[in-house]
Amino acid sequence: MTIRRTSSLPTVALAVGDALRRAGIRAVLTGGACAAVHTSGKHSSVDADFILLGEVERRDLDEALGTLGFRRTGDRYVHPNTDFYVEFPRGPLAIGADDDIRPVEHVSGPRRCLTLSATDSCRDRLAAFYHWNDRQSLSIAVEIAVRNRIRWSVVERWSRAEGFTLRYDDFRALVSRARRARSGS
């Protein structure tokens, strides 16, 4: 795949995930780029974060991302045709205190990439709202919930375990309002 100046963040992130997969590297797309995938690009970020599942040599990452034209600069990978960059934050793969995360394979045309599920991407954005009062992350969580089928029981149980029952109730009310606004009711 050729990455162009006009390539969207979801396109770049999924291309990177596919290149990693083809190189035999198991990595899960998380964070803002994953939210961009689940909101069809409505949300954007400046980077694509992948959590590595297992030990990976730096040279193997260099080779895999090099197939797309990315080059390592410090701890990030940059590409001459896009302002989006790729990072590999230290694991483990977790959302708040929950480290029993099951990634899903996202398929887009010929590309396949491990990502957080829509439910887990929603929880990931809610974690930023719950713990750091990040209102933009709340808006993104609402957008994910409106656009995707999420497992409400998982989100509710996790929210309560994290100690944010009232914020979860606020989130549910915002999702209901957003759904009504979309339907014109």
- pLDDT value of residue 185: 62
What is the C-alpha to C-alpha distance for residues 171 and 174, in angstroms, rounded to an integer?
A: 5
> Residue holding tokens 């991407």?
121
- Which of 73, 100, 115 finishes a domain? 115
CATH at 14:
3.30.460.40
- pLDDT value of residue 25: 98
pTM of the model: 0.94
Domain that includes residue 176, residue range: 118-183
142 and 67, same structural domain? no
pLDDT tens, residue by residue, 132-145:
999 999 999 999 99
> Residue holding tokens 């990452």?
61
Mean pLDDT, rounded, of the chain: 95
Band of pLDDT at residue 36, cut at 50, 70 and 90: very high
- pLDDT value of residue 2: 87
> Residue holding tokens 């035999």?
24
What is the C-alpha to C-alpha distance for residues 163 and 3, in angstroms, rounded to an integer?
A: 42
Q: For 20-31, what is the mean pLDDT?
A: 98
123 and 72, same structural domain? no
